[in-house]
Amino acid sequence: MSDAQATIQKTVTENDVVLFMKGDKMMPQCGFSSRVAGVLNFMGVDYHDVNVLADADIRQGIKDYSDWPTIPQLYVKGEFVGGCDIITEMTLSGELDTLFETNGVAFDKEKADQVRAANA
């Protein structure tokens, strides 16, 4: 296992929710990362962000780790959930709420409902 793979493995196992993204949760550097971080921030999810632009080995390593070609990538309890389109769909369908509830991840249900209402 490469150093990048070991770092990624450690990060996703030591944090309940991890978002590998371009930029960080306070200043995303692409629209897709901004959308996912925005949803998590609005819903009050406590998550660890990893700026893949700061480390080329991590940027490529996360794609290899998940066998998923794009950034952002969301992990919950060590499991890869998906990228922007999947997270958007899961948010709007309520599946993301269920995933968080099942895994004991705190979030603001009222805020999640507001996101769905605004996009209905």
Q: How far is CA 17 from CA 2, 53, 61, 87, in A?
A: 22, 19, 18, 13
Of 36, 33, 26, nearest to 88 by C-alpha is 36
30 is known to lie in a ligand binding site: yes
Residue indicated by tokens 């196992």: 13
- Provide the residue type at 104 as one letter: G
Of 30, 10, 27, 26, nearest to 83 by C-alpha is 30
Q: Distance between CA atoms of 101 and 28, rounded to whole angstroms?
A: 26
**Residue ranges at the known binding site:** 30
**Residue ranges at the known binding site for [2Fe-2S] cluster:** 30
